[in-house]
Structure 1
Amino acid sequence: MPLEIRELVIKTTVNKGNNKAGGSSETGKAKEFNINEIVEKVFEILKEKSER
């Protein structure tokens, strides 16, 4: 019997302390934008797969 996922919830925790290994100088808003963009792409891919 196939299983259909109607809602996907993704939670993450971001450490706001100094991360010496990262080396990224992005601001919090830029990181948030990038995460939102990635999540939107994931949803698009899932939608395309469900339409097949």
Structure 2
Amino acid sequence: MPIAIKELHIKINVSDDAQSTASASRSPADKKDAIIQACLEQVAHIEKRKNER
């Protein structure tokens, strides 16, 4: 029986503190790649949890 997802909640925290100054030396492409990698890890984690049910 397929599972239908009716709601998707996405929470993003953006802060402008010391961490952002450390990553300021990275190029925009590197930042984009890091964000994409983090998203893919979260999706993989969610899929793994879903399959365990």
Alignment TM-score, normalising by the size of structure 2? 0.59
Deviation at 1:31, TM superposition (A): 0.2
Separation in structure 2 between the aligned mates of residue 20 and residue 49 of structure 1, nearest angstrom: 33
Residue correspondences, number: 44
> How many percent identity over aligned positions?
25
If each structure's helix is expressed as a fraction of its own residues, which one has the higher value?
2
Separation in structure 1 between the aligned mates of residue 9 and residue 29 of structure 2, nearest angstrom: 21
* Aligned position for 1:23: 22
Unaligned 5+ segments in structure 2 are none
* Aligned position for 1:51: 51
Separation in structure 2 between the aligned mates of residue 10 and residue 26 of structure 1, nearest angstrom: 25
Separation in structure 2 between the aligned mates of residue 27 and residue 42 of structure 1, nearest angstrom: 23
Higher relative contact order, chain-length normalized (CA < 8 Å, sep 6+): 2
